[in-house]
Structure formats: structure tokens, C-alpha cells
Structure 1
Amino acid sequence: MHCAYYEAGRCRSCTLIEQPYSHQLAGKQRQCEELLAGHAGLRWLPPVESRQHGFRNKAKMVAGGTVDEPTLGILDHDGHGVDLRGCGLHTPGIRAALPTLADFVARAGITPYDVPGRRGELKYLLLTESPDGELMLRFVLRSQEPVARIRKHLPGLRADLPDLVVVSVNLQPEHKAVLEGDREILLTEPETLRMRVNDVDLHLRPQSFFQTNTEMAAALYRQGREWVEEKAPAAVWDLYCGVGGFALHSAAPGREVVGIEASAEAIASARLSADEAGLGAAHFHAGDATAYALTAESAPDLVIVNPPRRGIGPELSAWLESSDVRDVVYSSCNAQSLARDLAAMPSLVPTRGRVLDMFPNTGHYEVMVLLERR
């Protein structure tokens, strides 16, 4: 993949971009096989390829420059803005919208945050595109000072970007490397961005997590559904369920599905999706996944886990090992923590695995493993 930003040394985030894509994917497959080599019965399915460009459904653009000439991209080593509006990773709708958003920043007088000087307001623009081409925009600000101006100019922005559905402001007053704060101010009547994935409508609220590669997310959920249907469980838990992707894909007549996620925003989204789909047997609760499992009166037939990079950890691994759960679908963004967790659950044997290239041009990826109790 050719990238003028990379060749000019302005951005080096895509660390594998100089490798042929087939070599990138083979390296990821090889790493997984080496990390899980101790599981002799594990059969690997063919890896799922991604497009190298135009796949990223979310832009996390650091604001820099000046109010008259803002940059949207990253910061250099000195904390100054590097404009990356033309980044080829983003979906076409995002790339088309970013110049308009830069103009809006200037028109509304939202001063970009100067990291070295610790002054200014706009820290990030977060833009997400749905499979239908609709957009959700979030302004991450240091304070509420620019909110009135954003409201004033918002009708003009929506006229310029008719696909802009959800707009909000997130307040992050602290000077530290944290993307967003706790407080969100919604500026539009619609509260969610509809993400149509396979035959399931998911809803994304401003503070909800969603996979950054929609096509790979769809493949991930299809693989999870296939394994769940093969096992035909009467009850399923989806731990770390996010907006309910795995849980809603696993729902079926006569099957009870429970999703657990720490984010109340994500749970509200999952409940909305379940209600719209008429899935009365799908229930979602905000809380800690490990605490839920440890305090439950009984265990389901099958558990799906999709944890953050740190993995599920020793407590949940120990509970799964000693529980009556027959099968586990483990989706991981970190094969090293996956290998550690599998070692703590020797009774749950990995039988099938699959690499999905969620993050092409980098060393990151998603790997799914089906575990069966022996």
C-alpha cells in the first residue's frame, strides 16, 4: 500500500506497510500458531483477509495548529499538529467529511488545544461512519466554553454534511494522555448511530466501543454465530459484550442470552437493539464480567468472552475451569494474553482457531478460538 504520509516520515503508525500484504497476514498466523503450539488438537481455519485501505470506520483526529488553520491528525515529537486528513485507512465518507470539519473548527472559533502550552480547547475530533454512510461526530473539549458556538453553527455543518446524524461534546479537562472524559453533552435529537452488521442492527452511542473495521467485525460475529449454532446451547453468556454484537448474533428461539459489559452506554445500546429485534430472551446488564460469573447461581452451556488486551485474567479463568460451562468462544485482540488464559483452563481444550486481520498494516489482529470441555 502506498502512503505519502509514511514516505514523507510524517506518520509511521502503519509499521508493516512496506511488507506485501500476504507476508503481513502470514506473520500474524505464524505468531498465533507459535503462541498456541502447546495445544496439539487445535485446527486453524484459513485467516480472514481485510482490505488494506478504506476499512477504518472511526477517525481519532488530534486537533493541532491554530484556530484559523487547524490540523487534524497526530502530534509530532514536539507536540505540534501533523495534518492527516487524507489518511487512506479511513472509509471514504470519513475522508470526505474531514476537510469540512476542519473548516467548521475555524468558522466556530474552536481553538485547538496546544499541548506544550497547555492552552486552547479542542483536543480531538472523533468521527465514526456506519455501513449506511451515516456519521457520528464527537468534539473532545477541555471545557464547555465553545459549546454555545458549536450549537450556533451546527445547523450549517449538518447542511454541509447531510449524513451527520449524531453530534456530541465530550469534556476532558485534564492535561494527560486520556482520550476522553466521563461527561458527554448530546447536541442532536438522535442518540445512536445505527450499525447494520450482517442481519443485525446494532446501535452505537457516543461513548460505546465498536470494532474499527466493520467488515472484520461482521466476519467475527459470523464465526461466533457459526460455532454457537453448532453447539446449540440453551443458555449463552456474552461477557465483555460491548453493544451486544456476539450476543445478538447468538440469539435464537428458545435460547436465553445474557450480555455483561461495564459500560452503561453500551448496555443501553444493546438493549435498544434487542427491543427493536423483538429478542425478549436477550438480556443485558451493566457490570463487571468476572464479578457476574463469580456470583451467579448457575452457569450457562456456552460462554463468549471478548476481553480487552489484558485478557480475562486469573479469576475468570479459574471460574471457567471449575464451572459446568461446556464450551467457550474466546475472541482476543492479544494472542499473548489469550495463550496465558488458555494455560489456566486445561479442561477447556482449544479445537479450532481463526485469525481475522482487524488491523492491516500493523502487528495487531483479532484471533478467535473455540474451546470444548474434555
Structure 2
Amino acid sequence: MGVPYHRQLADKQALAARALHAVGPDIRWAEPFASAESGYRNKAKWVVGGDEKNPSIGILDENREGIDLRRCGICEPALIDAFPALVDFIARTGLVPYDVNRRRGDIKYLIVTASPQGELLVRFVLRSLDRLEEIRRRLPDLQSALPQLAVASVNLHPEHKAVLEGDQEIVLTEQSTLLMRLGDVGLHVGPQSFFQTNTAVAAGLYRQAAAWAAQIAPTSVLDLYCGVGGFALHCAPASANTIHGVEVSADAVSSARRSAADLPDPDRFTFDADDAATQRLDADLVIVNPPRRGLGATVADRIEAGAARHVVYSSCNPATLATDLARMPSLNPVEAKLFDMFPQTTHVEVAVLLERR
């Protein structure tokens, strides 16, 4: 923060290029895809602090007391506008903020996602279900205050440990997914599904991958770590008879299947909840979007030994991307583009097109 935005982009491009130079000295780098400098984040993951009469949403300080960030400049306007009503709902419902030091209280986190159309998915992460019926009873009041509320849920997180959510999710509304419409493709996002936090940049990333897929004209596409199907549903050129996605999250796979069902040709798409390391890698085009740790040796080695003529690799960590590319020497990185998913930070997202030598 404080560095002029054009410098931020240039620095990130240089960082990514340096990281990949040893494995791809001849990569053609496109112009970076820029983001809005503020108001870009579509999801807020706030700790609920303060007390039951005056709850805060934001982060904890060094004493584990709440710092309120409801006016945070990186959040989309739809989130900023919704926060006062949500804080008021927490107070009116009698939800006691979880006290980390004393290990008592009701609500730990508030997680809110906004769609491009301004609809909201709201999750209340609770220590127990003691206040569940009170939340249900008062939910119509929240819906009246926030007509844009599309999905509301309670996540049960009873353990005292530094993770954001638990396994059990209870959807409180008739609608169970938030529709993120990006051009001609609508992506259904469930409460526990991953979606890129910068909608405009995610749309640009998907368009680039789709352009590469159209250029390649594969007969089959395999999307590993597919999430809610963003890449698979965008990278479906007419040449591809089958587009298959794999993701460990059952919630995300359910969302991807629902999104595919809305398309004119849903039969071309299949999605499975499974481990990427167990898949047959025999598609013409393999798309990978792994977490920060990268593909790892098992998956990278299998792609190297596989039959894919092309790979599209979307990475949020140039260091692990470089390590993975070094494990796949028969796949030559020919084109790359940086996507500024997280302005005002040093984090980068890079998409690379690989072609078998």
C-alpha cells in the first residue's frame, strides 16, 4: 500500500518472470491483467469480537480483542453496505462473540460473499447450535433489512483452534447457492465452495484460459482442482466432446454440476468429488488450479508421463509453480499472463500455457 499501482503491477510481473526464468526463459509474457485498486474483494471473512451489545467484525489485536473493519477499503461496496445490518442482527439475536482468551461465547466468524449482481451469501460460524432456533426465528428480520440476502447458513465450529470453519453446514434459506454470473456462464457457489475473491479478475482469468482452449481445439478437457467448475465451464470449445472436472470438495462438485445443468449442452460436462492424484490423465488439455503448495511430485510426475498435448496451469504461488514446471520438462511453457487478484499485496496469480515438446 502506498506504492503507485503501475509500480505494483510492474513489480509483480518482474517477480513472476524471475521465478519462472529458469524453467521458461522464452515465455511470451502478455500485459498484466489489472484490478480495481480498492473495493475489489467479494468475500469478507471476519472475526466477531467485542461483546454482545457492541459486537465488532474484523480481526483480533495482539491481546485477542476485536478490531472493527466494517469500512475496510478492499471490500466490495455490496459488502460494506451490508455490514451494519449484519452487526445489528448479531446483537439483536443475542449472539455472544467468542472470547478466545476465556474460550466462551456463541459466534466466532462472519463470512459474507457478494455476487456480481449484488446478492449475498451470509454464514454465521458458531461454537454450538444453542442459538440456532433464535437465528431461524429472527432471520425474516434480517431478510427485510437486507433484501439482497440470497443464502444464509450456520456453520458449526465447536473446536478451539485456528481454523475458519467446521464441517457441518446448516442452510437456513430456500436458496442454497449464490449465483456468480460471469458473462454467459453462471457459477453456483455453495457455502463451503471456493471461489476466487476478485470477481472481475477471475472473469479475466477464465476468459484467457478459454481463449487458449479455443486456440488449441482439444477433443477432451480435464480440469483438476476444479472448484465450482470455473475453468471447466468456460474452457469448453466446440471441439471438446468431454469436459471433466475433479475436486475434493463435495459441496463444490455439487455446485459445478448445477452450473453445468444450466448450459445448453450439459451432457458434455461431468464432475467428480475425488483426489487429483488418482485421476487418469489422458485428456488433450489438462487444466490445473492447485492451492499455494502447488501440484506436488505425484500429480506433476503423472502429468509429465501423461498424454496431454497442452496444460493450462493457474497458480497463486510462482515459487511452487516453478518447482512443478521443473518436474514436467516435456511440457514447454510458451505463454503466460499475470492476473492481479490481490492489489495492495505482493501476492500474484499467474496463468501459463504449456505445450508438449
Q: Deviations over 1:16-71 (max 9, x none)?
A: x1211111111111111111112222110000110111110001111000000000
**Is the 2:213–2:236 Cα contact (8 Å) retained in structure 1?**
no
- Pair 1:98 & 2:83 matched: yes
Cα distance in structure 2, aligned partners of 1:82 and 1:146: 24
User: Which residue does 1:180 correspond to in 2?
Assistant: 165
The answer to whether the Cα contact below 8 Å between 2:217 and 2:237 also exists between their aligned partners in 1 is no
Cα deviation for residue 96 of structure 1 reads 0.6
SS at match of 2:267: coil
Between the aligned partners of 1:171 and 1:90, the Cα distance in structure 2 is: 25
How many angstroms apart in 2 are the aligned matches of 1:121 and 1:132?
32
Check whether the contact 2:189–2:195 (CA below 8 A) recurs between aligned residues.
Answer: yes
Distance 1:105 1:188 in 2: 17
Describe the SS at the equivalent of 2:262. Answer: helix
Matched, 1:124 2:128: no
- 2:123–2:152 Cα contact (<8 Å) kept: yes
Name the CA distance, whole Å, in 2 between partners of 1:58 and 1:165: 15
2:18 aligns to what? 34
SS in 2 for 1:290: helix
> Does 1:23 find its partner at 2:4?
no
Give the Å deviation of 1:371. 0.3
Match in the other structure for 1:269: 255
1:281 corresponds, among 245, 252, 268, to 268
SS at match of 1:277: coil
2:121 alignment partner, one of 115, 132, 136: 136
Residue of structure 2 in register with 1:332 after alignment: 315
Paired AA for residue 355 in structure 1 = L
Secondary structure at the residue paired with 2:3? coil
Stretch deviating more after TM superposition (34-43 or 152-161): 34-43
**Aligned residue in 2 for 1:355:** 338
Aligned counterpart, 1:291: 278
**Percentage of matched positions with identical amino acids:** 54
Instruction: Give the equivalent residue in structure 2 for 1:369.
Output: 352
The match for 1:14 is none
Q: Give me the TM-score of the superposition, normalised by structure 1.
A: 0.93
Letter in 2 for 1:330: Y
Give the whole-Å Cα distance in 1 for the aligned partners of 2:154 and 2:169: 6
For the pair 1:153 / 2:138, whether they are aligned, the reply is: yes
Tell me by how many angstroms 1:252 deviates: 3.5
**Paired residue secondary structure (1:336):** helix
Provide the secondary structure at the position in 2 that maps to 1:284: strand
Per-residue CA deviation, residues 341-370 of structure 1 (Å, 9 max, x unaligned), is 000111000000111000000111200000
Count of aligned pairs: 354
Residue 253 of structure 1 deviates from its aligned partner by 3.5
1:211 aligns with 2:211: no
Residue 257 of structure 1 corresponds to: 243
Deviation at 1:254, TM superposition (A): 4.9
Shift of 1:198: 2.2
Alignment of 1:59-70 (within 5 A): 59-70=44-55
SS of the counterpart of 2:47?
strand
Query: Which stretch shows the higher mean deviation, 348-357 or 276-285?
Result: 276-285
Once the two structures are TM-superposed, the CA of residue 123 in structure 1 deviates from its matched residue by 0.5
Give the Cα–Cα distance (whole angstroms) in 2 for the partners of residues 324 and 180 of structure 1. 39
Q: What do you get for the CA RMSD once the two structures are aligned?
A: 0.8
SS at match of 1:308: coil
Q: CA deviation at 1:291?
A: 1.0
- Tell me the TM-score normalised to structure 2 length: 0.98
Whole-angstrom distance in 2 between the partners of 1:205 and 1:61: 18
Counterparts of 1:341 and 1:305, CA distance in 2? 11
1:228 paired with 2:213, answer yes
- Aligned mate of 1:169, from 154, 159, 167: 154
* Aligned mates of 2:289, 2:38 — CA distance in 1: 25
Of the three residues 301, 319, 338, the one matched with 2:284 is: 301
Q: Distance in 1 between matches of 2:91 and 2:216?
A: 56
Q: Which stretches in structure 1 are left out of the alignment for 5+ residues?
A: 1-16
